[in-house]
Amino acid sequence: MEVVRDKIALLVGACDEVGQAIGVRLAQKGATVIVCDTDYARLSILAEQIRESGGNAEANPVDSTSSVDVKRLVGDVIKQYGKIDILINNADARFGKPVGDASDEEWETGIRTNLNPVFFFCREVIPKMQAQKYGRVINISSLDYIGWPGRSSYSAVKSALFGLTRSLSLETARDGVTVNCVARGDVATSEMSPELAAKIGESLPVKRIGRPYDVARAVGFFASDWSKYVTGQMFFVCGGKSAHFSMSI
């Protein structure tokens, strides 16, 4: 079982249900989790929930689309804790239209909200990890990176995360820093009706839809020393859907 005791984890995009599950998981395993997003009220509730369960957490709002604000946040965390051991990039804004209907603004917004934050945080955090000769970076992508009709812009951005992950892993491998990517598949949330969740689950090889904790467990593995010989990889958490794509119906 993964252990991240005494590690400082920076969780970007903590407010969605997958982010919440990741934060709880890492705190349960011993990390101090700095939960980051734009909504301070929701962050504060999450941090309090983690503390009430016996973990350590701090809420820190950030505009992850602003390189200036990202630099400020990382500087504040380093000043307070002296290090960042784990970086989880979970910022995600889902969007999609057929390519003929997509505007310039929608294309640029996808890059600004889904790709730029990962680059900004990696640029600020990774050199500090290299200097301390230890670090774990986990980028959360989507199964859509393989390609999905009507979501070409979103798929392109999520595919770019894999290329970024691979390049960064090669830059940092000799410094004790690993960089990996988790591609999440269909995940049930509180906004999804039980009927839709059941329908999606029945379409998957495992015959159930994913839950936020499924993604959190994969992140926990990559955040721990169990994965220290694994870097530059894309890990599917999709109930077999990625393999099922190759099957005719």
Show contacts of 114-118: CB within 8 Å, 24+ apart: 114/154, 114/157, 114/158, 114/161, 115/157, 115/160, 115/161, 115/164, 116/64, 116/65, 116/67, 117/12, 117/13, 117/64, 117/65, 117/70, 117/89, 117/91, 118/89, 118/91, 118/161, 118/164
189 falls within a domain: yes
Using CB atoms within 10 A of its CB, is residue 77 exposed (0-12), middle (13-18) or buried (19+)?
A: buried
Q: What is the pLDDT of residues 176-217, one digit of tens each?
A: 999 999 999 888 988 889 899 999 888 888 899 989 999 999
Percent of the chain with pLDDT over 70: 96
Expressed as residue numbers, the domain containing 28 is 8-239
85 falls within a domain: yes
Q: What is the pLDDT of residues 133-149, one digit of tens each?
A: 999 999 999 877 777 77
DSSP 8-state symbol, 15: S
> Which letter, b or e, does each residue of 123-147 get, where b requires 16 or more Cβ atoms within 10 Å of its Cβ?
ebbbebbbeeebbbbbbbbbbbbee
User: Domain count of the chain?
Assistant: 1
Residue 229 annotated as catalytic: no
CA diameter of the chain: 55
CATH of the domain at 151: 3.40.50.720
Q: How far apart are CA 55 and CA 35, in angstroms?
A: 12
247 falls within a domain: no
98 falls within a domain: yes
3 falls within a domain: no
Q: How far apart are CA 102 and CA 150, in angstroms?
A: 10
30 falls within a domain: yes
Residue 4 is predicted with a pLDDT of 94
Out of 81, 134, 145, 154, pick the active-site residue.
154
Q: What is the pLDDT of residues 88-127, one digit of tens each?
A: 999 887 777 778 888 888 889 889 999 999 999 999 999 9
Q: How far apart are CA 84 and CA 6, in angstroms?
A: 11
244 falls within a domain: no
Residue 224 is predicted with a pLDDT of 96
Question: pTM (2 decimals)?
Answer: 0.93
In the predicted structure, residue 249 carries a pLDDT above the cut 50? no
